[in-house]
Homo-oligomer: A and B are copies of this chain.
Amino acid sequence: MITIKDISRKCGVSPATVSKALNGYGDISEQTAELVKRTAKEMNYIPNIAARSLKTNNSHNLGVLFIDETMCGLTHEYFATILNGVKDEAEKLGYDITFLSQSLGNQKLSFLEHCRYRKCDGVIIASVDFSNESVIDLVKSEIPTVTIDYSFDNINCVMSDNVEGAYALTKYLIEKGHKRIAFIHGEMTSVTTKRLLGFYRAMSDYGVSVRDSYVVEGKYHDPIPSRKATRQLMEMEEPPTAIMYPDDYSYLGGMIELEKMGLSVPEDVSVVGYDGIPMSSILRPKLTTYYQDADKIGRMSARKLIDKIENSKTCIAEEIKVSGKFAEGYSVKTV
């Protein structure tokens, strides 16, 4: 392994000078800096990250918390795409990412401990149970944090515009002539609140009344509750003519249940999803949904987090909205 010392010997300068030259201190003359950089490249020098990290106490490493209790965090297209965005952007800015967990080997660690252990400079949190104590500890710690699709006070947060998304979908259904619109929503998080707001606002704006019994709770990214909710809705004496699902995945559950009941989409009931995962455009019938720019959400998160890390004073906490796009399919018919 070739070190700073080897370079210093070859260049006839001190190790200190090499370090400074490589890190762009103004302290060094142009010529020696050039010489050092050149020989470093020639000798295939790779800095020892452990030594550097030991000294500087930062690692150029971001922690990501992506796995929820249903263990489907990574395999879900929406989150996988976000992760990919995070990864790409972080790489561009010179950071690697590390998955955070609550155990390493036989030790039990909290997320925060794992984070400290790996010396993560910051953390990105998505797709977890935000009421989990261990998660909250992490958020409240001194470690720079960005949350995705969930907002804490005074913490950077990135999400798509959920009010506008739900509004757009609702408006579309209304314009297609629907009046009996059901809304299956996810767990009551800040995201859900916003979507509900968008839904109610659209209904109100267009003078369509909301039936309380049409608004039922399901779960994000889980087909099972959606199946139940779908059956419950369609077995009413006056079933809805359109159902809005929490997301594209959970819609799949609904689809299966509808099929089982001998109902077809959109002939018997119109449906819309949410997320716009690649799959949704490939489903038959093509799903009408609201496309969230997951890649951009990931990139923005990484960028904001790194900004926070590197400019902790000037960087202020904010909620960043990434705009999405309404995506028309064939899952809604005109009534």
Residues of chain A having any CB pair with chain B under 8 Å: 46-51, 53-54, 59, 67, 71, 74-75, 77, 80-81, 83-84, 87, 91-99, 101, 103-107, 113, 116-119, 223, 252, 255-256, 259, 278-279, 282-284
Contacts and interface: CB of A to CB of B under 8 A. Distances in A.
Given A74-B83, A92-B103, A255-B284, 14 more contacts: A47-B117, A49-B118, A50-B51, A50-B54, A50-B119, A74-B80, A74-B84, A80-B80, A87-B101, A91-B104, A93-B105, A95-B104, A98-B98, A284-B284
- Which of A77, A91, A107, A119: most chain B Cβ within 10 A? A91
B103 A46 contact: no
A106 to B, nearest CB: 8
B97 A98 contact: yes
Contacts of A117: 46-47, 49
- Which of A46, A47, A283: most chain B Cβ within 10 A? A46
Contacts of A99: 87, 91, 96-97
Given A54-B50, A259-B284, A278-B75, A118 B105 contact: no
